[in-house]
Amino acid sequence: MSRFVLPALACLLIVLSVGCGEEEATKAAKVGDPESLLIGMGELAEASASGKTPPHACGPGVVLRDEGGRTAVSKTFVVGAVQVVEAVGVFRGPAQAKSAYDDLISRKRISCIASAVASFGPTAKIEIIRAQSLDMGDEGSAYRYVALDDDSEPRGYSDVVALRVGRCTAALLIAIERDEAPNAVAEEASESAADRLSAPCG
């Protein structure tokens, strides 16, 4: 893995996020408080947290906000060669949450994220893989973006996971170094998000 790849993956998470979580919520999760529903450092083994992230048109935080949700975005959590950031939107009802979920997995949104991935570094092309429909919450989908070099060798992976539980919709962005894929951190973070939203949002 070249020295370029990890900084590029870190930049990608910054580009695709919006806003930033403040101090980690210590109160019990409330459905009207999206920050209390975000992933916390204690949910990922051996994680550390980085700083704030600016908005970008491709970011899930933008989608959740534009669909009318009360929105919060976590800090970026680093676990070895894996980086995770989460956005959560709380909506008036399941119909609005579903609209946001459908936007997150739309062809337009997927292409927008692919363009952002391609903008970082010497990438010959981006391969988009619809990994699977997830058996989590009311609806769940996962996509993987593989950045390929001129020899069609992977330079890195970016996973996007979208989940809807009742009137809440969440999106996880997970940047994975080539040597770490497939990675248990992505599965752990996705399952944690679904469990965290189930009681207050369902």
CATH classification of the domain holding 90 = 3.40.1000
Q: How many domains does the chain have?
A: 1
pLDDT at position 39, please? 84
Domain limits for position 37: 5-21+29-201
- Residues 115-128 have pLDDT tens digits of 766 665 556 677 88
- Cis status, amide bond into 182, omega within 30 of 0: yes
DSSP secondary structure string for all residues of 136-151 = SSSEEEEEEEEEE-TT
Kindly provide the residue ranges of all beta strands, DSSP E only, lying in the chain, ordered along the sequence: 48-49, 70-73, 77-79, 82-90, 125-133, 139-148, 154-165, 168-177
Q: How far apart are CA 138 and CA 114, in angstroms?
A: 26
- Residues 143-158 have pLDDT tens digits of 888 878 788 888 778 8
Query: How many CB atoms sit inside 10 A of residue 20's CB?
Result: 17
